Amino acid sequence: MFAKLASILLFAGASASPGQDAVVLRPSTYSTTQGGEVRVAASAPAGPQTDWPADIEWFFVRLAGTQENRGPGDGPAPARGQPHRLSLGLPGAAMIGLDLKAATQIWPPAALSTFAARAGTEDPCAKSDARVQLLRSATTLVRVSDADGKPAADSTPTSKSGQQVEIRPLMDPTSMLPGGDLPVRLYMKGTAAGGGVISATHLESNTTQQATADSGGIALLHIERPGEYRLELRVLRPLAESDAAWQAGIATLTFEVPKPAEPALEAAPEKEDKP
């Protein structure tokens, strides 16, 4: 099915370091034409391109009513330095995402307190190490215009991805005008992440805002400027009937808000010759 879709090069490699770091997907361009080529790199939020994680549980590309899924060992993980080519040739908006395998980790009290603060959760005040199930997901959106360079309508950016931790825009950020508000709904394990804290960073100006989701998992972000944005969600919940005491979720979403079109210049009216 990928043979029908835009060409993407994914650089892959060894595993990411464990811990509380998010995984971010960043394409070389957020806007391409049908049959164009894009490179998608994995990185930490503030770091350069890194090797692709080795523990990818699910990798997918969704575009214009089509979706390709890949399971463990079948995702973007060729040898270091070798590009993994995916064919994408339909106009619309491509959603490219992944889930990492759930990892059970032992966090010292300070690490749990730090994560709780970033997730907007009351400090657990743990007295000893805690067993935490860590869930991490990452998504990026790439706009694909048709062969004539015209944008195509596509509901993909607002569709529910089904990732283990998810930031779902409720309007398409790849076609919105700057100066408006972007509502998003936040999920962890398919249920609303009420109280979750989401940050939105405009990368060019390095300005960040935060919002806390309501009980339905909905938060509102103000999109002041055009350009590249990185959204990051953190959620922390206690777990019952599990070998872990806590479930921690991290999700990221990257996209580009386009610049407003320049207004067309009106031609000056021709002067009439007086008789």
For 93-125, the pLDDT digits (tens) are: 999 999 999 999 999 999 999 999 999 999 988
Euclidean distance between CA atoms 181 and 244, whole angstroms:
37
pLDDT tens digits for 134-158? 999 999 999 998 887 787 889 999 9
pLDDT at position 68: 87
Which is higher by pLDDT, 45 or 179? 179
Euclidean distance between CA atoms 93 and 114, whole angstroms:
36
190 pLDDT more than 90: yes
Q: Where does the chain show beta strands of DSSP type E?
A: 7-11, 24-27, 31-33, 37-43, 49-50, 56-63, 66-70, 83-86, 92-100, 103-107, 130-145, 165-169, 180-188, 191-192, 197-202, 207-212, 218-223, 227-238, 246-257
pLDDT tens digits for 32-48? 888 878 888 887 776 66
- Reduce the DSSP state of residue 189 to 3 states and report it: coil
pLDDT at position 243: 87
pTM here? 0.87
Query: Rounded mean pLDDT of the chain?
Result: 85
* Confidence band for 15, pLDDT divided at 50, 70 and 90: very low
- Reduce the DSSP state of residue 28 to 3 states and report it: coil
Give mean pLDDT, residues 235-243.
90
* Confidence band for 84, pLDDT divided at 50, 70 and 90: low
